[in-house]
Structure 1
Amino acid sequence: MSVETLSFDRRGSGWSVLAALADADGSARHPFVRAMCAPGAATRDLADAIHLLCALHGRHPGVIDHALAHRPNAAAEPWLEAAAEGFAEERALLARLTAAAGPIPSTPGQAESEAAVNAQRHALDMLAQSDRVGCAVGASIALVLDWHAIRALMSAAADRAGFAPLTSRLPIDAETQTIAVTLALEAPVERAMSFGAQQLLAQHRALWDLAEARKSARDRS
């Protein structure tokens, strides 16, 4: 990417807020994600998680694509372009994992689950097309940061399927830090970025809550 990267430091202005949000509220903290990444996780539960994740993020355009198309700040455009290219490969991997997982596991309340994920996807689409400057970029940054933990779950599913996923081509943290620090020089933009990140991470937590509830429903049935 064309932006010059700063030395990586999570204490940087603007970046510190986004990094702290991802650390505190990201997928890595969710007990369901931890359980799926641990040895011995049930194959049907891992398969169900992949199906849910694909339903949320497997379609194009996604969060980053919408943010890129929706008149982004000129400073953010190179980062968004690189992130969109990298996420296209993640989407392809997710499709491959979903196919390898087979049919979605039979679970009570399937229609309600589908409606919940559809509502989440709609919420993310609206977030990524927000006219509030910085909101869509903040959501995109949170997605890239949180994808580290999600990638661990995807790697666990790939291991079950018998193939190794390619190395992620999403922007590295130092590149993401650069754009976060640059955009956060304006306080209103920094606040909007934080809001976008919070909302994205909240939708991910809701997805894992749903996956956990579906696991419990299957266990009881």
Structure 2
Amino acid sequence: MARLARNDGSWGVIASIAANDGSAAHEIPRKLAARDVVARDFSDTVHALCMLHGQQPGLIEHALRRNAQPLAQDWLREASEAFTVERHYLAQLVAAAGHAPSTPGQAESEAAIIGQHHALEMLAQSERAGCATGAVVALLLDWTVIRRTLDAAAERFGVTPPPLVLPIDAEIETMVMSLGGSPGVERAMAFGAQQLLAQHRGLWNLLDARASARGRL
């Protein structure tokens, strides 16, 4: 990601945002990807991620239906089809993990994730050209980090990870550069990316707090 962040233009801005503000910069995904954490932390993580991104329609589908940037329509459709694989993977992991671990403040945690999901729905349905697309781009870039966490959980729970079929960085870069034709659109795409990544950071912070709460039981 650091290499991509050196590119110029709208792609360079979004790649830099993803590198600096995304899951790769958070301590919890790194700990989980190390595979040496307790099973209940993996279970809590897959349940939370499924609440945020496991529903359909999700962020990409809402962006596709809003169609604020018609030039992105085909690319969004392909991204939606690819993310369906990740959604099924999440469902497999949740089933293998069993119930979410008992944690103080469970109701408040669920309400917080529901609020994050609603915020992403609103972001994806923005009429501001570029906002939803920027959020989708950030999701796909950040998911490569999240996938490492999911694969670590899969190893723990005996699930075989499916191939990662999301668009590669070069394809995303081409799409971003074709859409970022004006300063206004570029700002909107950057805003969408920042907001998506803020929700992910919030989720990791919540999972960190929940793990600490369980450790105090």
Give the TM-score range, shorter chain: over 0.9
Q: Mean alpha-carbon deviation: is it higher for 68-77 or for 171-180?
A: 68-77
Count of residues in Structure 1 that have an aligned counterpart in Structure 2: 214
Q: 1:149-201: CA deviations, max 9, x gaps? A: 00000000111122321111111111100111111121100000000000000
Residue 89 (structure 2) aligns with: 93
Structure 1 gap ranges (5+): 1-7
Distance 1:197 1:204 in 2: 11
Contact residue 5 and residue 16 of structure 2 kept, 8 A: no
Check 1:91–1:14 CA distance in 2 against 1; reply closer, same or farther (3 A cut).
same
Amino acid across the alignment from 1:159 = E
Aligned Cα root-mean-square deviation (Å): 1.2
TM-score (structure 2 length as normaliser):
0.96
Amino acid across the alignment from 2:191 = F
TM-score (structure 1 length as normaliser):
0.94
Residue 66 (structure 2) aligns with: 70
Distance 1:219 1:117 in 2: 21
Distance 1:44 1:121 in 2: 23
Other structure's SS at 1:75 match? helix
Task: Using the aligned pairs only, state the percent identity.
Answer: 54
Q: 1:78-100: CA deviations, max 9, x gaps? A: 21011100111100000000110
Residue 107 (structure 1) aligns with: 103
Contact residue 43 and residue 97 of structure 2 kept, 8 A: yes
Residue 5 (structure 1) aligns with: none
Distance 1:106 1:113 in 2: 12
Larger helix percent:
2
Matched, 1:21 2:21: no
Residue 208 (structure 2) aligns with: 212
Q: 1:9 deviation in Å?
A: 8.4
Matched, 1:170 2:172: no
Residue 179 (structure 2) aligns with: 183
Amino acid across the alignment from 2:144 = H
Out of 37, 53, 57, which is 1:57 matched to? Answer: 53
Distance 1:201 1:163 in 2: 27
Out of 100, 103, 128, which is 1:132 matched to? Answer: 128
Out of 137, 154, 165, which is 2:150 matched to? Answer: 154
Amino acid across the alignment from 2:185 = V
Structure 2 gap ranges (5+): none
Residue 199 (structure 1) aligns with: 195
Contact residue 58 and residue 94 of structure 1 kept, 8 A: yes
Q: 1:32 deviation in Å?
A: 0.9
Distance 1:107 1:87 in 2: 30
Q: 1:39 deviation in Å?
A: 3.2
Q: 1:38-63: CA deviations, max 9, x gaps? A: 13111111110110000100100111
